[in-house]
Chain A
Amino acid sequence: MKEFITGSDEQYELLKKSLDDKKCHVYNCTFPTSFSKSTGRIGFEKDKISYILYIDKGITCTASKSSLLKDWLEAGTLRFLDFSDLKAFLKGLTFLYPATRRRKGSST
């Protein structure tokens, strides 16, 4: 999961383009230690009205400072109006990796 939090603008552009195939793209991830599960799946999909972010259900987080993160974990799904919103959400989860430093030049 850390790769999505620290991902570069170029990597996110590639992810965004990949979603044009209208398929759900699923990634097996290692979760931060504050999650109740160590590994699981995160999925990305674009539909007609939004960009969708999926995560395996049944996961909780002890370090949640974000109500949006909590809602995402509870529902297993979060919809974003634009891809930039999805990106901003994921890149805003740096608190899950306290030692993570934002790279220079990357933006949200």
Chain B
Amino acid sequence: MDWFFDILPFLCTGLVLCLFGRFCRRNSAAPARPSAAQPSSNSTGPIVYFATNDFGLSDREYRFDYRKEQGFWKAYILKMPSLRGRSGSFHVTHRLGTADAPFVCWDQPLRTLEDAQNVSRVWADHLQEYIATGKRF
């Protein structure tokens, strides 16, 4: 019976490997996800939005990074179209923060990520119209 105890560790190891292979089998169809792309709980990383109406402009691409700071969400603006000569003042374009890290201005703190995303859509759509027509918002 001693032989049984001699091989027991190998049997256990084999059993564990079999179970691991059964329940943790990689879906061959699922590509490995770059670790750098995984958002943290306080920052989503870059997310692309195209303004709903291009107003005849070729560029309607916006990129946001949604960050949770002190319990509230902000939509940081990573990319926006050229203002094409329109005033770029933060007041006129409803932005806050710094030139290097501007974020969308809103009249109240944004409590959820969904709120921040909705606000960024509205802001981008209005800014697109402002760029094309000069209409203030």
Contact B61 A68 (CB under 8 A): yes
The 9 closest A-B pairs by CB, nearest first: A77-B37, A81-B49, A26-B29, A79-B47, A24-B30, A88-B50, A85-B50, A80-B48, A43-B31
Number of A-B contacts (CB under 8 A): 61
Of the candidates B33, B47, B113, which one forms a contact with A80 in the assembled complex, judged by CB atoms under 8 Å apart? Answer: B47
| Residues in B neighbouring A43, C-beta threshold 8 A | 30-31
Q: CB of A14 within 8 A of chain B? A: no
| Residues in B neighbouring A32, C-beta threshold 8 A | none
How many B residues touch A, CB cutoff 8 Å? 23
Having A43-B31, A76-B37, A85-B49, one finds 17 other A-B pairs with CB under 8 Å, namely A23-B30, A49-B44, A49-B47, A49-B66, A49-B117, A52-B37, A68-B48, A76-B34, A77-B33, A77-B34, A79-B45, A79-B46, A81-B64, A81-B120, A84-B50, A85-B50, A88-B50
Contact with A along B25-40 (1 / 0, CB 8 A): 0010111011011010
From DSSP, what is the main secondary structure of chain A's interface residues? mixed
Contact A81 B34 (CB under 8 A): no
| Residues in B neighbouring A81, C-beta threshold 8 A | 47-49, 64, 117, 120-121
| Residues in A neighbouring B34, C-beta threshold 8 A | 57, 75-77
Closest-CB distance, B69 to chain A (whole angstroms) = 17
Contact B37 A89 (CB under 8 A): no
Of the candidates A24, A49, A76, A85, which one forms a contact with B48 in the assembled complex, judged by CB atoms under 8 Å apart? Answer: A85
| Residues in A neighbouring B33, C-beta threshold 8 A | 54, 77
Q: CB of A41 within 8 A of chain B? A: yes
Q: CB of A29 within 8 A of chain B? A: no
Within 8 A of B (CB), among A32-85: 41, 43, 49-50, 52, 54, 56-57, 68, 75-82, 84-85
Contact with A along B113-135 (1 / 0, CB 8 A): 10001001100000000000000
Contact A24 B117 (CB under 8 A): no
| Residues in B neighbouring A52, C-beta threshold 8 A | 37
- B120 and chain A: residue at smallest CB distance: A81
Interface pairs (10), CB distance under 8 Å:
A49-B39, A49-B47, A50-B47, A68-B61, A76-B37, A77-B33, A78-B48, A81-B49, A85-B49, A85-B50
